[in-house]
Amino acid sequence: MSSNNIIDRVFEEALKNLSDLISFKTVSGSSNIDLINYCENKLSKIGAESFKTFDKEKKRVNLFSTLKNKTNNNGKGVILSGHTDVVPASKNWSSDPFKAIHKNNKVYGRGACDMKGFIACALAFAPIFAKEKLNKPIHFAFTFDEETACQGAPLLIKELSNKKLDCGICIVGEPTNMKIIDAHKGCYEYTTYFKGMAGHGSQPDKAVNAVEYAVRYIDKLMQIREQLKKKSS
């Protein structure tokens, strides 16, 4: 079957899934359990095996579901990953942000693009994957609170390590204008303290001004920033 025929088969199902997913008010920090149960039920019906990891309050949850390979190939699997939370809706919406509106071949709703759209597509394709003779397992990883410093994903990653689940590739369906992004910016955060030495205003050379050294530090960071700009261009 051609790829176009497959897309035609799943298109309507993906739209229905998306409408359902948008209706769950999974704003970061709030419960996403109902949405996760929705996804788990769909995947369990086609034979996927799942486990969950929860936050301390048991109100937010990650889902990891697997369609096992049906061959003797022990190759590493593929993860289709997406976060289930959305940022709060502003007051500028002209429609209900948690109700999918289909207009001009577009779907409007909180999270339609970032990133319930990808989850909707993954769920729509899952039954097709389940019928195939897979050489590698396909995993579905749906996490909570990505919009607030990726709070859910680390819990899931830790559990994957505990279960010794090692996968070959992870496809994260963030909106990138249909361009493949094969890396992501990293981040280190530091806290720097500056301590001076008190002295009399008439003899500043015998004291240490902490602010002065903090300014030097910041200036050096600005120089490094300019160097990194040239490196990345």
Place of tokens 């593929």: 78
Q: Which of 40, 145, 146, 147 is catalytic?
A: 146
pLDDT value of residue 3 = 62
pLDDT value of residue 230 = 87
pLDDT value of residue 54 = 97
pLDDT value of residue 212 = 95
Count CB neighbours of 35 within 10 A: 25
pTM beyond 0.85:
no
Catalytic residue check, 146:
yes
What phi and psi, each to the nearest 5 degrees, are found at residue 107?
-115, 125
Q: Which residues of the chain have pLDDT under 50?
A: none
Catalytic residue check, 85:
yes
pLDDT tens-digit series, residues 58-116? 999 999 999 998 776 666 899 999 999 999 999 999 999 999 999 999 999 999 999 99
Taking a C-beta distance cutoff of 8 angstroms, is the pair 83, 147 a contact? Answer: yes
Q: Which of 40, 85, 114, 147 is catalytic?
A: 85
How deeply is 133 buried, as exposed, middle or buried, from its count of CB atoms within 10 A (0-12, 13-18, 19+)?
Answer: exposed
Taking a C-beta distance cutoff of 8 angstroms, is the pair 118, 82 a contact? Answer: yes
- Domains of the chain, CATH where assigned: 3-172 (3.40.630.10), 190-233 (no CATH)
Quote the tokens at residue 185: 């910016």
pLDDT value of residue 211 = 95
Contact residues for 1 (Cβ-Cβ < 8 A; gap 6+): none
